[in-house]
Every structure is written in C-alpha cells, then in structure tokens.
C-alpha cells in the first residue's frame, strides 16, 4: 500500500499576478479556505497517510498554514530552497525527498496547485514496480505536455507543447514513482526554460519501458491564473459532495 505523497508547493505562482504578491498561490482563498486545503483533504480522503510538503516561497506563511492543520493531516515539511538553493524546476521536489523514501518504497507526486478527485487519486495505488503518469484527453493538447503511447499503455515519451498534432492525451502532473526515479535525476540537464524538468527523468525511465499511462476519469483543475479562482470556486460550490 502506497502511503507517501509528495506535494510540490515551493513556487510563487507568477501567473497569479497580484494575487501571489504577498503569499504563495497555494494559500489563495477559495470559498473561505486556502486552495491547498482542498487538495490536502482529497489526498487524506483518498487514503494517503503521509503527506510530504515541499515548500519554499513565503515559507513562514506556508508553515503557519500547515501548523493550523497539523491535527487534520499527517504532514512532513521540507524547505526546497534550504536544500537546493536556487536550483529550480519540477524535478527539484523529487530530489528533496530522496532521503525520506525508503528503498523499494513507491510514492505519489502531485503539484500543490492541482486538484483531482478522490476517485482518480485512488487509481494510483498501484502495487507494481512501474512508474505511472496521469493522462487526460484534452481538446488543446498543444498547450501541454503530450503523452505518446508505446503499446499496452506504456509511455514512449512526453513531448512538451508540440507545434504539430502528435496526440490528444496530455500530462496532468500526477505521478506514481518508484525509487528508480532518483537514479535518473543526476542524468538530466537544464531545459530550455533553464529548469530541471521531472518529465526529462520520466522520459529516461520510459526508454527502459518502466513507465505506464494511467488515464484519469473525473477532472483535473489547474490553479494557475487569476480567473481560475472563480472557476474553481463555482466548481467546489457545485460539487462538495463528490470531490
């Protein structure tokens, strides 16, 4: 049974503009509670008993929020900036937990600004020695990383924001990892964005046929832009019983 889930919440969220000037975007309130509260609630309801929060920007505010909910969630806090300095990218939260994950222990990784249903989160309790990436059919795949399948749901590679159509199943950033991911992290270089991307490590594992695609069925809500506040507020108001 997978117990640990790593929540990446170190970034500022520059696309949130003024809303994240004085707080991490994960703490922007929706319907009276920070967005992060809804994510943590769904993770707990899904059955993840150990939540590792990787924080950085405005760490004091994040620590205060997490302290307020210490009795509701089993939380471990890691400061990415203290561990890695100015090293940045989606691979960094995974690098931060390499000494916490036990040999042979699989874990889940999720972005702190994404929301998934309890049902879809439960689909990643997979007891095998493979890694998994979440997929979702999307009408505008060119705006995201597109998952290329290699038979039997194995991932061939992830192509970031392709300029020509290569498929319509996008990567939504929910992963199940085995400790093999830590072997790949030192092998990746900075991307064109000058960041260390977890998708580059996943592509290395895919070449070894060690990654499968698991499609989500309910929803994926990305909390990245100011207009998402109203969108997610309305969604939560209409779906409180079915999160």
The 10s digit of each residue's pLDDT in 95-111 is 999 999 999 999 999 99
pLDDT for 231 equals: 96
The 10s digit of each residue's pLDDT in 132-158 is 999 999 999 999 999 999 988 999 999
| Helix spans in 35-168 (H) | 35-46, 59-68, 80-84, 92-96, 118-122
Average pLDDT, the chain: 94
Contacts 24+ apart (CB under 8 A), 29-38: 30/229, 30/232, 30/233, 30/236, 31/233, 31/236, 31/237, 34/65, 35/113, 35/115, 35/223, 35/232, 36/9, 36/65, 36/112, 37/69, 38/115, 38/236, 38/243
Instruction: Give the three-class secondary structure for 147.
Output: strand
Instruction: Give the three-class secondary structure for 202.
Output: helix
Bridge partners for 53 per DSSP = 7, 77
pLDDT for 70 equals: 85
pLDDT for 197 equals: 98
pLDDT band at 242 (very low <50, low <70, confident <90, very high): low
Give 227's Cβ-side CA count (13 Å radius).
0
Q: How far apart are CA 204 and CA 200, in angstroms?
A: 6
Assess whether pLDDT exceeds 90 at residue 239: no
Q: Looking at the domain 4-128+173-211+218-242, which fold is it?
A: Spore Coat Polysaccharide Biosynthesis Protein SpsA; Chain A (3.90.550)
Q: How far apart are CA 117 and CA 115, in angstroms?
A: 7
Helix (H) or strand (E) holding 212: strand 211-215
The 10 Å Cβ neighbour count of residue 72 is 11
The 10s digit of each residue's pLDDT in 189-232 is 999 999 999 999 999 999 999 999 999 999 999 999 999 999 99
pLDDT for 17 equals: 83
Segment 37-62 shows an average pLDDT of: 96
Q: How far apart are CA 167 and CA 170, in angstroms?
A: 8
Rounded CA Rg of the chain:
17
Domain extents in the chain: 4-128+173-211+218-242
pLDDT for 243 equals: 62
């Amino acid at each position: 049974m997978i117990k640990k889930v790593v929540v990446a919440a170190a970034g500022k969220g520059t696309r949130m503009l003024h809303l994240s000037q004085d707080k991490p975007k994960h703490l922007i309130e929706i319907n009276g509670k920070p967005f992060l509260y809804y994510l943590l609630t769904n993770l707990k309801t899904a059955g993840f008993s150990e939540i590792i929060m990787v924080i950085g920007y405005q760490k004091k505010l994040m620590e205060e929020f997490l302290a307020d909910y210490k009795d509701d969630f089993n939380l471990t806090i890691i400061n990415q900036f203290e561990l890695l300095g100015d090293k940045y990218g989606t691979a960094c939260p995974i690098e931060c937990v390499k000494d916490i994950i036990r040999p042979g222990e699989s874990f889940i990784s999720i972005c702190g600004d994404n929301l998934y249903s309890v049902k879809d989160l439960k689909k990643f309790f997979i007891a095998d020695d493979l890694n998994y990436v979440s997929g979702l059919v999307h009408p505008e795949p060119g705006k995201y990383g597109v998952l290329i399948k290699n038979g039997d749901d194995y991932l061939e590679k992830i192509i970031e924001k392709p300029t020509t159509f290569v498929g319509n199943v996008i990567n939504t950033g929910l992963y199940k990892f085995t400790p093999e991911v830590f072997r790949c992290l030192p092998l990746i270089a900075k991307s064109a964005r000058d960041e260390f991307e977890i998708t580059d490590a996943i592509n290395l594992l895919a070449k070894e046929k060690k990654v499968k695609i698991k499609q989500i069925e309910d929803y994926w809500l990305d909390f990245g832009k100011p207009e998402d506040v109203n969108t997610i507020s309305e969604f939560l108001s209409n779906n409180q019983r079915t999160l």
